Amino acid sequence: MSTVESTPTTAPASTGQRERLKVLVKEKIGDSGIELLREHFDVDLGIEWSDEELAERIGSYHGILIRSATKLTAELIEKGTLLRAIGRAGVGVDNVDVPAATKRGIIVANAPQSNVVTAAEHTMALLLALARNIPQAYASLTSGKWERSKFSGIELYEKTLGILGFGRIGQLVAARARGFGMRVVAFDPFVSAERYRELGVEKAENSEEVYALADFITIHLPKTPETQNWLNAEAFAKMRKGVRILNVARGGLIDEDALKDALDSGQVGGAALDVFPTEPMTEHPLFSYPSVIVTPHLGASTAEATDRAGYQSAEQVVAALTGGVVATAVNIPAIGAEDMEVLGPFLPLATQLGRLAMELAEGSSVERIEAAFMGRIAEFDTRLLSLAVIVGALQGRTEQQVNLVNAPSMAEERGIVVEEKSVTEAQDFNELIRVTVVAGDEKVAVAGTGIGPHRVPHLVEVHGQRFTVELEPFVTVFRYADLPGMIGRVGTIFGSHGINISSAAVGHTPDGAPAGDEQRLAAIVVTTDAPVPQAVLDEIVASDGFVDGRTASLR
């Protein structure tokens, strides 16, 4: 499911022979990538071209390979009338207007595996430098001093490394740290317990458990509004005194003012930073701290990573232009036109249900995602809907942006089993999608359908209870004892905090459902046009009769 088969494109030739396609390499990549392209195409190097020259000449090329400096805007893509493939020699594609390319039928592919080893190794380099005071000792010695006792460090052996974010890079760091004899404890609720066991890593139930155990903490979380300033004053206060902090992931994951205060108090014994909220960064209050090591965003900067990124992206351009399999395409996989006509309107619903189910799951680790398609949609190729479910479930929870192509591999590397089921009959609805997330001991199922000629996404089932409510950007679900006045209590508290309710629906147990404590609980779904703060949820759940409350952003 994670590949796109491209259609080979050729230009007509007056000689009766097939004309070689043309590819532009706009930025510097390794020679191996250029050589691979030249085996198949006529290749031009436009490294010195200005933006104006690129705009004038891009219409002559069937493929283009870039890194991060070139901005392929919708306007520029429109000028590339022959373009069929865009290769990005690196992980992100922020500098490519992917929707514009998709609209034109252009495959966009990146090199997501190119720098993971490099980033993990740089983390280890900073970890060792932090433990042994290497930069400080170097500066002292080269200034004419011999201060052995001043820069005595500590061993990594039998120390505890805490990893926040246990995706691809976090797992590589863990393997290397264990090679130094370190105890490794990691927190990432979106990685299965089995994957922790396979790697010999202890699974923390929450961040606080990592804080309480770790001598070193390295953060490898994605940059999202939820992870902004993840390591803040409250987090530092919960850590062991003298802990050392590393960030080779994204700027903004650490509250740097809080880090400064923690360094001043001695709560944090040292820090190693490779990334910053704004870059380039050449002046910073922490730069003067003797216990702080900094590097200028070198996590992905090695000759091997650069060469690997160029070669991998060149491979994808070759595949895209010769009818091969484009394994790292970031736009949607190829689905038949007839299937897309029916399934297309259900893509937003599948994504939203995946996200909602994951938010409602309370377990400490996700083991399984089940996607069931019922009714008329089950008669078609539902692979795309399954991908959309995974995208929704993992969105904002991985260090690399998840999309419809890389979703299966992202789930697999986290040990999450994905199952798809199709049933041609759907009780009460013509089409129904049910998503179930198994997380630890918790199993959460949500279901939805599309209503009206435009198949507007509606939620119709949560926790085994039936609703019919249009999905809005923010959805909150409460479960409570079925007593009078509970719904009014929710509305009153929301109102006191200035939260406007778009719609609300009370659930009921479907006829024939089994009896049990779960079924005796009532439920209410509330949709809003603004987020519901955790403090508001806590206030409602703390009142008599309420069992739990969870909120989800479906944006």
Secondary structure (DSSP) of 170-198 = HHHHHHHHHHTT-EEEEE-TTS-HHHHHH
- Burial of 155-179, coded b for 16+ CB within 10 Å and e otherwise, reads ebeebbbbbbbbbbbbbbbbebbee
Q: What is the CATH number of domain 116-294?
A: 3.40.50.720
In this predicted structure, what is the pLDDT of residue 56?
96
In this predicted structure, what is the pLDDT of residue 363?
66
- All structural domains of the chain with their residue ranges: 4-113+304-326, 116-294, 332-462, 472-555
Token pair 């001093």 is found at 145
Please check the confidence at residue 92 and state whether its pLDDT lies above 70.
Answer: yes
In this predicted structure, what is the pLDDT of residue 517?
47
Bridge pairing between strands 243-247 and 268-273: parallel
Can you read off the two tokens belonging to residue 28? 């510097």
Can you read off the two tokens belonging to residue 442? 């918790």
Question: What top-level class would CATH report for the domain 4-113+304-326?
Answer: alpha beta
For the segment 167-225, what is each residue's pLDDT rounded down to a tens digit? Answer: 999 999 999 999 999 999 999 989 999 999 999 999 999 999 999 999 999 999 988 88
pTM for the model: 0.75
For the segment 230-275, what is each residue's pLDDT rounded down to a tens digit? Answer: 999 999 999 999 999 999 999 999 999 999 999 999 999 999 999 9
Please check the confidence at residue 2 and state whether its pLDDT lies above 50.
Answer: no
CB 159 within 8 A of CB 183: yes
CB within 8 Å of 399: residues ≥ 6 apart: 165, 167, 168, 169, 170, 220, 221, 222, 249
In this predicted structure, what is the pLDDT of residue 328?
83
Mean pLDDT in residue range 377-387: 89
Please check the confidence at residue 405 and state whether its pLDDT lies above 70.
Answer: no
Q: Which residues pair with 6 in a beta bridge?
A: none
Q: Which CATH superfamily is domain 332-462 in?
A: D-3-phosphoglycerate dehydrogenase; domain 3 (3.30.1330.90)
- Active-site residues, by number, are 250, 279, 297
Of 69 and 508, which is predicted with more confidence?
69
Q: How many CB atoms are closer than 10 A to CB 48?
A: 6
For the segment 442-453, what is each residue's pLDDT rounded down to a tens digit? Answer: 899 999 999 988
In this predicted structure, what is the pLDDT of residue 408?
85
Please check the confidence at residue 344 and state whether its pLDDT lies above 90.
Answer: no
99-107: long-range contacts, CB 8 A cutoff, minimum separation 24: 99/74, 100/73, 100/74, 101/72, 101/77, 101/331, 102/331, 102/332, 104/77, 104/78, 106/77, 106/80, 107/4, 107/6, 107/316, 107/320, 107/326, 107/329, 107/331
Helix (H, G, I), strand (E, B) or coil at 396: coil
CB 217 within 8 A of CB 164: yes
Can you read off the two tokens belonging to residue 375? 């009714």
In the chain the first and final C-alpha atoms are separated, in Å, by 25
Alpha helices in 19-81 (DSSP H): 31-38, 51-57, 74-79
Residue from 420, 345, 313, 311 nearest 96 by CA: 313
Please check the confidence at residue 514 and state whether its pLDDT lies above 50.
Answer: no
Domains 4-113+304-326 and 116-294 share a fold: yes
Q: What is the CATH number of domain 472-555?
A: 3.30.70.260
Note the residue count of the chain: 555
Torsion-angle region of residue 229: left (phi > 0), alpha (psi -120 to 50) or beta?
left
CA distances from 257 to 54, 245, 247, 270, 283 (A): 43, 14, 15, 14, 14
Please check the confidence at residue 166 and state whether its pLDDT lies above 50.
Answer: yes
In this predicted structure, what is the pLDDT of residue 16?
43
Give CA–CA dist 488/469, Å, rounded.
Answer: 18
Helix (H, G, I), strand (E, B) or coil at 345: helix
